[in-house]
Chain A
Amino acid sequence: MKTMKMNNIMKIVSCLLLILVCFSSGCSDDEQIVASADNLIMQDEFNVDGAPNSEIWGFDIGNGCPNLCGWGNNELQYYTDRPENVVVNNGFLIITAQEESFGGASYTSARLTTKGKFEQAYGRFEARMRLPYGQGIWPAFWMLGADINTSPWPDAGEIDIMEYRGQEPTKTLGSLHGPGYCGDEEICDEPNLTKTYELRNDRFDTGFHVFGIEWGPEAINFYVDDVLFRQFTPADAPGPWVFNKPFYMLLNLAVGGSFVGGPPNSETVFPQTLLVDYVRVYN
């Protein structure tokens, strides 16, 4: 309940500051295309201890085999739904990567998805999180096209709201993958659309930050806290723009893999935790 109070205070403070900002800046829209999405339609504040709310979240279990061993990225973890790897406690969703032998893998972790439970086109999707750190640690808050079963990756589309390399604790990436443009050179002629945002005098593993997108028919804006760091529009895409249909959300903490340049090293500290304060969706 502490979080609830905090949120109320936040709202009040935010309103005050917004008023201040409006007066001082006139609140003039710049040239960004802004999706106005202030109507909260889905939220998980993670205020009930135990397993995550099964009405919102399901799990991907295992190592992706036989169809997609290493989850298509040479990842090294075995995903479980055990409390050792995923639990709600004290107002936070805690996803923990452990170094342990399990199911033939050397690491365990968890991957939550709203597939079949919450899927939506357009809106504002955001999560407040504190990220883990260390070589080979790869947390992500991302989305996949809900038609992925009939329109396999990358055709279904992928929106990476937050991707982060544990060995680069000041940087987060926002990315789009679509037909013909994705992070796999064997499948796609063009690279995915991506933008790195770097914190100055701060890092993502020492405090909470809000990672989000504002997604409308004409554009997807990527933001961290109050900084909108990149907008992608259909004109940016080297292939078809597929971000015009329902997507579902994923939250996961991978260990190793192509994106993070390989496995953890001897200096990587385990366990590592991804803390999620809330996930909220507005339209």
Chain B
Amino acid sequence: MKNIKSMNLKTIILVAFIFTVSTSCERDPSEDVQFATFNNNGAIFLDSPEGLTDDFFKSFDPATGANVNGFGVDENEAYKGTSSIRIDVPSSTDPDGTYIGGIFVDRGSGRNLTGYDALTFWAKGSTTAVVDQFGFGTDFDENKYAVTLNGTELSTGWKKYTIPIPDPSKLIQEKGMFVFSANTASTNGIGYTIWIDELQFETLGTIAQPRPAIYGGEDLVEETFIGSVSTIIGTQTFNLADGTNQTVLAAPSYFNFQSSNLEVAQVSELGVVTIVGQGTAEITASLANVRASGSLSLQSLGDFTPAPTPTRDPSDVVSVFSDRYQSAPIDFFNGFFIPDGQTTQGAAPFGINGDNIMRYTELNFVALKTLNTVDASAMTHYHIDIQVEKADIAPEDFIRLSLLDIGPDGSSPTEGAYTISAADLIGNDWKGFDIPLSDFSSFNRSNISLFFFITDGTSPNPGAITDILVDNIYFYRE
């Protein structure tokens, strides 16, 4: 105790507080006033579930492929104490579901977690594996303060994991205590076991250096239209005691969003950006008073004219991308083929007044891929609506459509191509194409998976087609 000069600020505040309390002239709230405070227990599972609902584990919907069988408590394995949570991740061919995941919910009205700074747990796997999702804040209700850590690497020895709380002050009544989701993508489809122990919210005091971000920290520039709706995805990054940076997905409600021009763009508390007028606006955000990196600069071009709504009978249609029909699940909208020189930008489609439209910019070639293959063997035509976003079509302009069938086992690809020439293209308006499949170069049509758009957009050719809008991709029969 030689170092008397180093008494810290806390001590001063404490003394000042005592002084203030003992001499305060402020009116105190009446004794009848009751402030609502919620249980602040941080424990979730030590040797048994702590204050969770009777069913302990609520699975994701089996309709999404969730396997409800593999969850339990293991009395023979523990990091500390006598038992641990045991999760048997099903194999990729398990008929009862190919992934396991769900949530733990507080059995009361929710917990006050404002005094904690992280969710922590010990875990190990029967093999090394990458777990898709750990987190908290998912309650199968609003999921308002959901936090997700993706891609956690498990080892076969017990290891402590830390999921920082993006802003603890928000969690005054949280019901979603834990969420996880695991599949066998990292184990070649072979099932394995995860053990989790000492699952709890903790005050570590070492969760530091917050660096929130939206749009992955990038400053995006986009053209858009009135009625366009999109949702902001945000992250929070902290530096942990071991020096590593931990980045989690943080639900929009952790952020404060700002639009520089409310007459052009508005952002809701849930991070939904809605374009309401013509002009420019910049979207920015902060989290717990720290400015988030990343922004979205919008130029709204005004009203949007949608592609004509398809009218064909759904029973004669196999749809890939159209809000009019039941369409195939999409694996990705912008297949990136490194290092083929692809430059095409544009990813998830944007929605305008409930209609989803794809937009590709800096196009040279790009592929949309469906999650499962599409069977068009009984169909006769391919339909697509395209709007070329420039006024004048040059004689050398073209858009080549290419459809790749990967065969029944994915190993015998055949490709059919059809080129739309400049004469058939118009600028700045929708044009629908109904192309007989017999006009494509010969290919199989039972297992179509990739849908290419090819232009010469980034060649030196001036005026080439770089930006297109696409809607209503479907096969039909006449």
| A binding-site residues for B, Cβ under 8 Å | 6, 9-11, 13-18, 21, 25, 27, 34, 124, 126, 128, 133-135, 165-170, 200-203, 205-210, 212, 214, 223, 225-226, 228, 267, 269, 280
Interface string of B1-13 (1 = CB under 8 A from A): 1111111100110
Interface residues of B in 208-244 (CB under 8 A from A): 208-209, 211, 239, 241-243
Residue from B5, B205, B239 whose CB has the most chain A CB atoms within 10 Å = B5
Complex CA–CA separation, A18 to B2 (angstroms): 9
The answer to whether A17 touches B8 (Cβ under 8 A) is: no
The answer to whether A226 touches B239 (Cβ under 8 A) is: no
The answer to whether B206 touches A226 (Cβ under 8 A) is: no
Chain B: interface residue count, which band? 20 to 34
The answer to whether A267 touches B245 (Cβ under 8 A) is: yes
The answer to whether B12 touches A13 (Cβ under 8 A) is: yes
| Sample of 6 further A-B pairs with CB below 8 A, known A14-B7, A133-B208, A205-B239 | A17-B4, A133-B209, A168-B243, A202-B205, A203-B208, A223-B2
Chain B residues within an 8 Å CB radius of A202? 205-206
The answer to whether A206 touches B208 (Cβ under 8 A) is: yes
Q: Is the interface of B mostly helix, strand, loop or mixed?
A: loop
Residue B258 at the A interface, CB < 8 A? no
Chain A residues within an 8 Å CB radius of B12? 6, 9-10, 13
The answer to whether A34 touches B2 (Cβ under 8 A) is: yes
* Minimal Cβ-Cβ distance residue in B for A203: B206
Partner of B3, one of A15, A134, A207, A226: A226
The answer to whether A18 touches B1 (Cβ under 8 A) is: yes
Chain A residues within an 8 Å CB radius of B209? 133, 205-206, 269
A36 to chain B, nearest CB (A): 8
| Sample of 13 A–B contacts (CB below 8 Å) | A13-B12, A13-B15, A14-B5, A17-B11, A133-B209, A165-B243, A170-B206, A170-B241, A200-B205, A203-B205, A203-B241, A210-B6, A223-B3
The answer to whether A201 touches B204 (Cβ under 8 A) is: yes
* Minimal Cβ-Cβ distance residue in A for B247: A267
Complex CA–CA separation, A167 to B245 (angstroms): 10
Complex CA–CA separation, A25 to B1 (angstroms): 11
The answer to whether B206 touches A126 (Cβ under 8 A) is: no
Interface residues of B in 164-217 (CB under 8 A from A): 203-206, 208-209, 211
Chain B residues within an 8 Å CB radius of A228? 2
Chain B residues within an 8 Å CB radius of A168? 242-243
* Minimal Cβ-Cβ distance residue in A for B15: A13
The answer to whether B5 touches A10 (Cβ under 8 A) is: yes
Chain A residues within an 8 Å CB radius of B205? 200-203
Complex CA–CA separation, A14 to B9 (angstroms): 11
Chain A residues within an 8 Å CB radius of B239? 133-134, 169, 205
B36 to chain A, nearest CB (A): 29
